[in-house]
Amino acid sequence: MAQNKAVFLDRDGVINHDTGYTSKIEDFEFIDGVFQACKRFIFQGYQIVVVTNQSGIARGFYSEDDFFKLTNWMIGQFDKHGIEIERVYFCPHHPTAGHGKYLKDCDCRKPNPGMLLRAARELDLDLSASIMIGDNLTDMQAGEKAGCKECILVNERVLSPTLTQGYRTFPRLSDVTLGFH
């Protein structure tokens, strides 16, 4: 029986401002309060796991090496704040806009739950005790399909009530409360 629980975080729009296909350190801007929120989640017994669609790779906007360089830098910034990111999972595919090996309808691209299921296997996670936090409906769907305890939508934009129905919503990750609803 799995022993650990995680907060799964989407990257663009949750950890950093989504400027569209963010692939360079100089374009990566953390959203205020991200580090404090992650410290709170860890204090509550959650591991931090990032799950991110990266169709910019599939589209040829940047390479996997570019993604790894930025990811290593991002993890280093969390480390400087005393926060361990357990793992970063990414999907480089796109079912219609991908090129070459990246043109693929896969199980890892959210709204499919592949990244979360892989994390559960590799990190011994109890998905029924874990939480998905994202800024899009596809994040919520992936969390639901994986069997997460809760899916939380964070988005500074005013969203349609149809989109947010059934989800707790917060403007930013720093506003999220776990276990108090």
| Side chain identity, residue 140 | M
Q: Which residue has the tokens 């693929």?
A: 104
The DSSP output letter for 67 is: H
The string over 22-51, giving b where at least 16 C-beta atoms fall within 10 Å of a residue's C-beta and e elsewhere, is: bbeeeebeebeebbebbebbbeeebbbbbb
Q: Is the dihedral of CA 127, 114, 34, 169 positive or negative?
A: negative
Give dist(CA 58, CA 5) in Å, integer.
Answer: 31
The candidate with the shortest Cα–Cα distance to 138, out of 100, 177, 95, is 95
Length of the chain (residues): 181
Known catalytic residues? 10, 12
Q: Please, where are the H alpha helices in 44-132?
A: 55-58, 64-80, 114-123
Are 117 and 110 in contact, with CB atoms under 8 Å apart?
no
